Amino acid sequence: MNKVPVTAKLLAPVAIKRDRQSERSESVRSVAGTLVRGALASLYLQRHGQADDDFNRLFLNEASCRFGPLDPGPKHFPLTAVSCKRERIEHAMVDQLWFCIAQHHRAGYVAENTTAWRQCRECEADLKGHDGFWKQGDDRPCDMSSNHQVAAHVGIDRQTATAAESILYTLEFMSPSCKKVDLYGWLMADADALAALEQLLQDESNCISVGHHRTRGYGDVCLTLGEPVGRDDSQSNTENWKQWSHDLIAFLGSPPLSVPDLDPKDFYFSLSLPTGAVFVDRFLRYTIDPAAMIPWLPAMPSVDVAFPLKDRPSHQLSAGGTVRWITAVTRHERLRGWNAAHGLPRQDEWVLARGAVYVYCFQGTAEEREALIAQLATLSKDGVGLRRNEGFGTVTVSDDFHCRFRQQEV
């Protein structure tokens, strides 16, 4: 499959509630891949009348087509990103993953000079978690926030089908902007699926309808498919992953952290999940541990505490070498949805939050390390977990964000 960039222009306000309960009108900040897939599937059935081979290829086969979310920015901040409490990204942007790794290596020890990860150098305010979306700037991320507004509406009387007396409610929505692009996304598709999808969008003037209140003029979105970018250069990725590990070891060994007993032959790597993931174990219980679905990873400990590297959970690979768990920054969220075909709510699921990060350390020979890197390349290409055709389970190995923003600039 090739990766195809997708851009979207809002033709009307888009309202997508975060919760199914009517008394909560808070809106989400992006259009989930589930909604994009559902909107296109509905258009296909309206035009063709039934599910045929092309329908199955587009919407039911994970190996043929996958739909990513539509976000206000091209990238999602990892859960390790923090910014100034007062001025946010305008003052400071720091990623705390490498600092967190150092703390775990030193069994909870905190060096004296750690203000670069705790306080803003501009105003000395505390650094707090920074969530949202961004795009690459010249020297720092450009924060991308969706344009949300709130509108008041009149309720409808079910008996008379007219405005109900004294019934008002508010609705939060994403408002169209003057920008050429309001939302950024992607999809993965093989040649046949991409051709069928392009034809479907062409027949519908590239427009889909998503979210609530579509009978009141909400939800119209114009999609534009870019040129397929093909698969990433695996050789380039491999070198970047090795350099990421090399830079991390150098960072840990230098002041003020000065972590002792580091082996330059070790290979560190992180697994980031920018779109979240749905993990289940062999008993189909929801979990936040990737080892439940990636058998060559060690299981996470039941309690995340700092203890010596040699005592951390490890797993012996069949090709040789040992992978050890280092740390994780993660949380889970409840995933809700609506089944339009049945007119009923979908079953709630527990999903790994977007931006979750896991860190591991490999110890072995150079040949054994190359075998591991091949597995990482496959994982990066295929993703992990359930509901991957809805955008979940995308994996980024050793994200460069952690390296570039590991410490505040002087």
Specify whether 280 is located in the same domain as 327. yes
What 8-state DSSP symbol labels residue 256? T
Specify whether 282 is located in the same domain as 319. yes
What is the SS3 assignment for 269? strand
In a domain, 409, yes or no: no
What is the SS3 assignment for 134? strand
pLDDT tens by residue, 270-296: 999 999 999 999 999 999 999 999 999
In a domain, 7, yes or no: yes
In a domain, 184, yes or no: yes
Structure tokens at 145: 């926030």
What 8-state DSSP symbol labels residue 195? H
Residues 268 and 221: their CA atoms lie apart, in Å, by 42
DSSP string for 33-68? HHHHHHHHHHHHHHHHSS--HHHHHHHT-TTTEEE-
* pTM tops 0.85, yes or no: yes
Length of the chain: 410
361 contacts 252 by C-beta, under 8 angstroms: no
Which residues is 75 bridged to in the sheet? Answer: 134
Specify whether 323 is located in the same domain as 385. yes
pLDDT of residue 77: 92
CB-based burial label for 188 (10 Å; 0-12, 13-18, 19+) = buried
Specify whether 367 is located in the same domain as 390. yes
CATH number at residue 154: 3.30.70
In a domain, 109, yes or no: no
What region, left, alpha or beta, does residue 213 occupy, with left being phi > 0 and alpha being psi -120 to 50 degrees? left
User: Which amino acid is residue 181, in one-letter code?
Assistant: V
Specify whether 280 is located in the same domain as 388. yes
Write out the residue range of the structural domain in which residue 164 sits.
2-74+145-225
How would you label 316-350 residue by residue, b for 16+ Cβ within 10 Å and e otherwise? ebeeebebbbbbbbbebeebbbbeeeeeeeeeebe
Specify whether 258 is located in the same domain as 133. no
In a domain, 108, yes or no: no
| Residue whose pair of structure tokens reads 């409808």 in the numeric block | 156
In a domain, 410, yes or no: no
Specify whether 244 is located in the same domain as 321. yes
pLDDT of residue 111: 57
What separation in angstroms does the CA of 217 have from each of 144, 213, 221? 26, 7, 11
Q: How many CB atoms lie within 10 A of CB 390?
A: 24
Q: Which of 172, 203, 225 is the last residue of a domain?
A: 225
CATH number at residue 365: 2.60.40.4350
> How many domains does the chain divide into?
3
What is the SS3 assignment for 69? coil
pLDDT of residue 362: 95
pLDDT of residue 406: 87
Q: Which of 177, 203, 225 is the last residue of a domain?
A: 225
Q: Which of 204, 225, 246 is the last residue of a domain?
A: 225
In a domain, 69, yes or no: yes
| Residue whose pair of structure tokens reads 């509901």 in the numeric block | 387
Residues 152 and 163: their CA atoms lie apart, in Å, by 13
Specify whether 214 is located in the same domain as 287. no
> C-alpha angle 21/26/31, rounded to 5°?
100
Specify whether 269 is located in the same domain as 205. no
Structure tokens at 179: 């920008």
Q: What strands, in cross-sheet order, belong to the sheet with 267-273?
A: 314-316, 322-329, 356-363, 267-273, 396-397
Stretches where the chain sits below pLDDT 70 are 20-25, 107-113, 137-140, 146, 230-236, 303-309, 409-410
Specify whether 283 is located in the same domain as 349. yes
In a domain, 246, yes or no: yes
Specify whether 248 is located in the same domain as 378. yes
Specify whether 303 is located in the same domain as 160. no
